[in-house]
Amino acid sequence: MATEWQMPPSTGQCAAGDRAFEPGDAFRAYLFATPGGYERRDYCLACAPPAGEAPIASWKARHAAPSAPRRRALDVETVYALFEGLAADGPPQQRQLRFVLALLLWRRRVLKLTDTVQEGEQEHWRFAAPSRGDLHVVERPPLAEEEIERLSAQLESLISGQVPIDAVISDASGVANA
C-alpha cells in the first residue's frame, strides 16, 4: 500500500465490490492513515469498511458523470467540515490530519495564521477563520517539512474533485474500533 498515494480520487466503484457507481449516486469516502500516507476508499451507502479498519475521517459525496469536466477544485466547505470535525486532542493520526487540513485551508485563505506558540517540545499554530469568527489552535505534528508537504499534496488530490452532499464528518472521533 506504500505507493497508493498516487491513486486517482475515485475508483468509480464501491470498495466492497458490490456495485459500480452511476452518475449521481451517493457514496461515502473514507480516509485511512497508512504507512505510505493517506489512503482513500469509497463505499456505497449500504457498505462500510471492515470492522477493525478504522478510518480517520469520512465524508459523503456524489459520483460525478464521467463526461462532466473533472472538477479539480478543492471544496473548501468539505475541507472545513472535515477540519472542524476533528478533535484537537484526538489520536495522533487525527491530530496530524487536522494540521494538514489547516494548511490546505490556510493556503486558500479560509484560515489565517495568527501566530505559533511553543510549549516545551510541542509547537501549536493558531489560526483564525475571519469569515466565521472562529479561532483554532492546531498542534504541529512531529514530521519533517517535506513529509508534511507530501501528505498535504496527497490529501488535496484525494479530496478534490468531489461533489459533496453533506460535507460532514461523521465518525472521525470513533477511531477506537467502534
Q: What phi and psi, each to the nearest 5 degrees, are found at residue 97?
A: -60, -40
How far is the C-alpha of 37 from the C-alpha of 61, rounded, in Å? 22
d(CA 108, CA 75): 10
> What is the rounded distance in angstroms from the CA atom of residue 33 to the CA atom of residue 94?
9
Report the nearest approach of Zn ion to the CB of residue 134 (Å): 35
Any residues with CB less than 8 A from the CB of 43 and at least 6 apart, and which? Answer: 14, 15, 16, 27, 28, 30, 49
The distance of closest approach from Cβ of residue 13 to Zn ion in the complex, given in angstroms and rounded to an integer, is 8
Q: Which is nearer to Zn ion, 128 or 165 (CB)?
A: 165
Binding footprint of Zn ion on the chain (CB under 5 A): 14, 16, 18, 44, 47
CB of 63 to Zn ion, least distance (A): 12
Q: Which of 16/128 has CB closer to Zn ion?
A: 16
CB of 48 to Zn ion, least distance (A): 9
Residue whose CB is less far from Zn ion, 16 or 153? 16
Q: Which is nearer to Zn ion, 49 or 161 (CB)?
A: 49
